[in-house]
């Protein structure tokens, strides 16, 4: 039977470690602070941000939730970020994406001080990550490494294949795996004969944003599969394609009208040696690593 890598337990351990670091910093008169910026009324974004603020409170991190209407301009957002850059009690700045289409997201993210860029998206932090120097790494890829490390999955010398090349997940995940001495291949939607490459993977990271994209014939038996995708399924036919015969999932789908599936087809997990489930896998690590990055930023800003 494949081993399920428990994101719930690993995230809980990381948050406990963060809380202990926060207490230790408190003895020095330091309280890490996170500013979360929410624009508009996107239900999913509201849930994500308020959950992050709640966890800050649980761990002893100061948080400031700042909301702006969907009509906000790029200039107004840049002024907001400039103000947060100047606030000494704010160590991390999180701008919840996506932003309204009329807001220049790139300019806004570039305006965040690299030292406060807890999402790890600033070009300076991307360059430091590439160079293997201390930096704030994107939370989801950092969580992927933590899952592997804390589950005692060997990385050094393994062939890791990352499917997806986004700045948020694919590229930094590949770089972090490379720094752990894996041999890394990056694939994407334009890769020829993708399955021939993914079948070589000892560690397969699926981060392409397409439900069930990785099918059983694309997996090397015994591989470790890290499924980064979170896709909501509401169509009955699509649900049947992934979960036909799964009584527990069928009951949940009938009750809620939706369910989650990753970028890996559930049948592909049967070939794995170990895998992260969806839900209950990588997604939980993203918020835990955001908290860890906020504490890291607080310490780095003060030379600790």
Active site residues: 52, 96, 119
The secondary structure element, H or E, covering residue 187 is strand 183-187
DSSP for 108-168, please give it: HHHHS-GGG-TT--SHHHHHHHHHT-S----HHHHHHHHHHHHTT---TT-EEEEE---TT
Query: Can you tell me the distance from the alpha carbon of 84 to that of 77, in angstroms, rounded to the nearest whole number?
Result: 11
CA 130 → CA 80, 137, 174, 269, distances in Å?
Answer: 29, 10, 10, 31
CA 71 → CA 65, 102, 111, distances in Å?
Answer: 18, 9, 20
- Give, in degrees to the nearest 5, the angle at Cα 180 between 15 and 182: 130
């Amino acid at each position: 039977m494949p081993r399920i890598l428990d994101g719930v337990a690993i995230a809980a351990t990381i948050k406990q470690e963060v809380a202990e670091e926060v207490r230790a910093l408190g003895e020095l008169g330091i309280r890490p602070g996170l500013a979360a910026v929410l624009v508009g009324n996107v239900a999913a974004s509201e849930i994500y941000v308020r959950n992050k603020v709640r966890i800050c409170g649980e761990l002893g991190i100061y948080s400031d939730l700042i909301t702006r209407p969907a009509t906000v301009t790029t200039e107004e957002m840049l002024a907001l970020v400039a103000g947060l850059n100047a606030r000494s009690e704010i160590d991390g700045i999180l701008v919840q994406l996506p932003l309204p289409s009329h807001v220049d997201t790139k300019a806004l993210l570039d305006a965040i001080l690299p030292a406060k860029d807890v999402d790890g998206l600033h070009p300076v932090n991307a360059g430091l990550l590439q160079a293997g120097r201390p930096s704030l790494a994107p939370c989801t890829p950092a969580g992927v490494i933590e899952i592997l490390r804390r589950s005692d999955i060997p990385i050094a010398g393994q062939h890791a294949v990352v499917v997806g090349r986004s700045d948020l997940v694919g590229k930094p995940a590949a770089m972090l795996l490379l720094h752990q001495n894996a041999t890394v291949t990056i694939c994407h939607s334009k890769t020829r004969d993708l399955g021939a490459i993914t079948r070589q993977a000892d560690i397969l990271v699926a981060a392409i944003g397409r439900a069930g994209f990785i099918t059983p014939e694309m997996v090397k038996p015994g591989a470790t599969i890290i499924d980064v995708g979170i896709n909501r399924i509401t169509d009955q036919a699509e649900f049947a394609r992934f979960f036909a015969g799964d009584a527990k999932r069928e009951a949940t789908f009938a009750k809620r009208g939706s369910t989650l599936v990753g970028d890996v087809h559930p049948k592909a997990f049967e070939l794995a040696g170990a895998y992260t489930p969806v839900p209950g896998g990588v997604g939980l690590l993203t918020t835990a690593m955001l908290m860890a990055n906020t504490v890291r930023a607080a310490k780095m800003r003060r030379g600790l």
